[in-house]
Amino acid sequence: MSVVGEAAGAPRVGWYRWRICALLLAATTINYIDRQVLGVLAPYLQEEIGWNEIEYGYIVTAFQGAYAIGLLCAGFVIDRLGTKAGYAIAITIWSIAAMSHSLAATVVGFMIARFALGLGEAGNFPAAIKTVAEWFPRRERAFATGIFNSGSNIGAIVAPLLVPIIALTWGWRAAFLFTGVLSATWLVVWLVMYRAPERHPRVSAAELAHIRSDPPEQTARVPWLQILRHRQAWAFVAAKFMTDPIWWFFLFWLPKFLHAEYGLTLLALGLPLVAIFVVADVGSIMGGWLAGRFIRMGWSVNRARKGAMLVCALCVVPIVFAAQAENLWIAVALIGLATAGHQGWSANVFTLTSDMFPRHAVASVVGIGGFAGAVGGMMIATFTGILLQTTGSYLPVFLMAGSAYLLALLVVHLLAPRLEPASLVAAAAVRP
């Protein structure tokens, strides 16, 4: 039976796990609305406040630096405190930080607000991936990850539609306040709804048996140094370091690229950005579905996962032509295909962690990999700011994007040729 079919026919075993997935989707959507507000307003704020390309690069780098630090710590904290408390702490921090942008009036002020936002938002993906590992059997995880990960595209769609209207009606500060309120609202719902599957009154015995249908896994915590002794961890770290920066570039520089190259105003940015991220949303879900489809065709998990990743990587290659596209919608189509490829890639890369590591170590592995991706994001933010200030050309960044995914897949295959599970039994006895 297909994963989609299992989801549609889930009443036979219960379907509450898909409500939890919907909560993760909502959190990820809000997470990306919060971080995307600055990117949408960047052309306007650059004229309003007067920062240059390098200073904007520093503002983005402040977010990335905090995101890197937060990811390094978030996985450990969430594994320690549990999903419910860890997620709640993360979203409380990022809700307050999002609203604090409304108080900023200088480059330094925005750097401080972005740093705080990065710390809080770092908790989203480690918590969400751990939740998927706790609530879904292995065969459903890529699809569930693809669903909640599509929230990153939904958020990127909602932001350019709402933010310009809010900013032009009530001022740009109101846009940051609005997103902070969304985060706080989600927090209340999470605290009311969430319990572990074994303790949740809405989870039937049949659904719990379905969730726990995989072979039993050890539950002892594993320290980071023990995790990093395994090549499987470095495969995930390398994939995140090499490809996450491309997504950060899409988020924070696409509005500026469209404004600079095609003269789009704040309101006119909405339709092209929506088109790009709608396509990306499809890619997120299809990337997870494709791996599941390959598995149902009889492929091994290794072949299916890497086959899906190869398809996604090839979708990014044509973006090298976007920097010189004379027509706006040709550029939008090329960038949309690339963002779809990235999101399908991301759904499978995240699922690598639960393919190769037990549930109790997943959040820590995701946090370490996310740290590497955020460090890469810091590097590309500073590089892009300096590049644009000195040359005004986006071409080198698009060339990097077009090659990054194929190179990353090669590295993943070299480090984890069979995606064999990491043996953490001996390591688990070591106290962190």
Residue 285 lies in a domain: yes
pLDDT above 70 as % of the chain? 94
Query: Is the pLDDT confidence value at 427 over 80?
Result: no
Half-sphere exposure of 421 (CA within 13 A, CB side): 14
Half-sphere exposure of 79 (CA within 13 A, CB side): 25
Residue 104 lies in a domain: yes
Residue 123 lies in a domain: yes
Residue 1 lies in a domain: no
Residue that the structure tokens 């709640």 belong to: 88
Reported pTM: 0.77
Tokens of 298: 């009889």
Residue 3 lies in a domain: no
Residue 332 lies in a domain: yes
Mean pLDDT (the chain) is 87
**Total number of domains in the chain:** 1
Encode pLDDT of 126-168 as tens digits.
899 889 988 998 888 878 887 887 887 788 889 999 999 999 8
Query: Is the pLDDT confidence value at 218 over 50?
Result: yes
Q: What is the pLDDT of residue 220?
A: 60
Query: Is the pLDDT confidence value at 363 over 60?
Result: yes
Encode pLDDT of 275-324 as tens digits.
998 898 889 888 888 998 998 899 998 999 999 999 999 999 999 999 88
Among 86, 91, 102, 97, which residue's Cα sits nearest to residue 183?
Answer: 91
User: Amino acid identity, residue 308?
Assistant: A
Q: What is the pLDDT of residue 426?
A: 41
Burial of 215 (0-12, 13-18, 19+ CB in 10 A): exposed
Residue 237, C-beta contacts closer than 8 angstroms, at least 6 positions apart: 368, 369, 372
Tokens of 355: 């393919």
DSSP secondary structure, 176-223, as one string: HHHHHHHHHHHHHHHHHH---GGG-TTS-HHHHHHHT-SPP-------
Residue 282 lies in a domain: yes
Domain that holds residue 359: 9-429
Among 290, 29, 37, 4, which residue's Cα sits nearest to residue 148?
Answer: 29
Query: By the 8 A CB rule, do 142 and 351 touch?
Result: yes
Residue that the structure tokens 């194929």 belong to: 406
Confidence bin at 219 (pLDDT 50/70/90)? low
Residue 4 lies in a domain: no
Q: How far is CA 288 from the centre of its chain?
A: 14
List the CATH number of the domain containing 300: 1.20.1250.20
End-to-end CA distance of the chain: 41
